[in-house]
Structure 1
Amino acid sequence: MKSATPPNGHMPQRPAPEHAFAMRFTSTPRGARLARRLVSHRLNDWGHPYAAPVNEALTLITAELTANAVRHGHVPGRDFHIQLTLTEGVFRIEVTDTRAERRPPCTPRTPDSVSESGRGLLLVDALADDWGVTPRPAAPGKTVWAELRAPTESHPHTPRVAPAPTDVDLLLSTASLLRDDPASRPEDASHGGRRL
């Protein structure tokens, strides 16, 4: 977490967003995929095409936060909620679930090299300019949020310090698994491009 949650758990007041998108999703892997896709579509509608770095980064951050909400924040019969806003050149994605007792760590843990999971918050930490966790207002649960400054023409985006190259390489190689389109899947050449 790059910034501390305020001691009273309340975030400072923010100006009205220029763009906003919010929706509730079922707490299932399918709901997480749909949330990721809708965020990407909304960013495209707001003038940030699918292949633009800000769209790709926010789509990956959304994928990780929604996957965590499904895996660690799931309460049977309860949905998770996302909110995407653009305010004064800063994108903010919030994923709210109803499980208050399972909060992510303040600093992402580096998993061992053979672990197949546990890299989601490392990816969020590497891509986001800021992220954190706040209690859900007026109800049990939590909101995990991440912010990303939109690049501007006159002020180039300052580079962030990324994790060690081996961590980044592993994160990027597993990021392609998040895509659901058949064109991004490796095909088995010995079966004429058909998957068995």
Structure 2
Amino acid sequence: MTSNNLSPTDTTQLSGVSPYLGARVFALLFTSTARGARLARRLVAVRLDEWGVPYGTGAHETVVLVAAELATNAVRHGHVPGRDFRLALRVDDGLARVEVTDTRAERVPPRPGQLPGPGPEPADGGRGLLLVEGLAERWGWCPRPGAPGKTVWAECALG
């Protein structure tokens, strides 16, 4: 997490029930480190369980795995020294949306459907998004509005 020591229940973050159609929303900044990616994965797992998507279910495991891959990619490919990444989780109407925003604009993933096929793993990795593409209903990315960087997102069905 960022150095301002926000707790997972701090009221300055988005958490709990959204005023928009009863959606559950959680968002937090994490340090752009392996530890930050692990913490992001763990907090997604906890939030899903609290929101009625229990541990051990296929939907829980899928969303946590997708969040872990996107957070790891933000650390591995989107890291800018001194900058954090932001993870947002939204659960609404049987769908979970995970968004991970980093501050590195010049390294962008391929568009959905344009990922390299099976074969030897590239030197810089590159297989995590194949996993995301296989697990998520939809995924994509867009430039970060008003600042350098990008947001990679994925939507997973919960039912």
Instruction: State the TM-score bracket (shorter-chain normalisation).
Output: 0.7 to 0.9
Task: Note closer, same or farther for the CA distance 1:17–1:77 as it changes in structure 2 (3 Å cut).
Answer: farther
- 3-state SS of the aligned residue for 2:139? strand
Task: Note closer, same or farther for the CA distance 1:64–1:114 as it changes in structure 2 (3 Å cut).
Answer: closer
Cα displacement (A) at 1:149:
1.8
Question: Identity over the aligned pairs, expressed in percent?
Answer: 57
Are positions 1:88 and 2:93 aligned together? yes
Are positions 1:143 and 2:143 aligned together? no
CA contact 1:96–1:141 (8 Å) conserved in 2:
yes
The TM-score with structure 2 as length reference comes to: 0.81
RMSD (Å) for aligned C-alpha atoms = 1.5
Cα displacement (A) at 1:49:
1.1
Alignment match, 1:104: 109
Alignment match, 2:132: 124
Largest Rg, 1 or 2: 1
- 3-state SS of the aligned residue for 1:81? strand
Alignment match, 1:172: none
Residue type of the alignment partner of 1:109: P
**2:74 is matched with which residue: 58, 69, 72?**
69
Residue type of the alignment partner of 2:67: T
- Greater helix percent: which structure? 1
- Greater strand percent: which structure? 2
Gaps of 5+ in 1: 1-14, 152-196
Cα displacement (A) at 1:87:
2.2
Once residues 103 and 54 of structure 1 are traced to their aligned partners in structure 2, the CA distance between those partners, rounded to angstroms, is: 27
Once residues 113 and 136 of structure 1 are traced to their aligned partners in structure 2, the CA distance between those partners, rounded to angstroms, is: 31
CA contact 1:17–1:86 (8 Å) conserved in 2:
no
**1:36 is matched with which residue: 34, 38, 41?**
41
Cα displacement (A) at 1:113:
3.6
Residue type of the alignment partner of 2:50: D
CA contact 1:94–1:145 (8 Å) conserved in 2:
yes
Gaps of 5+ in 2: 1-19
CA contact 2:54–2:60 (8 Å) conserved in 1:
yes
Residue type of the alignment partner of 1:56: E
The TM-score with structure 1 as length reference comes to: 0.66
Alignment match, 2:141: 133
- How many positions carry a matched residue from both structures? 137
Residue type of the alignment partner of 2:116: R
Cα displacement (A) at 1:115:
5.5
Q: 1:60-97: per-residue Cα shift (whole Å, max 9, x none)? A: 10111111100110000000000000122221000000
CA contact 2:121–2:127 (8 Å) conserved in 1:
no
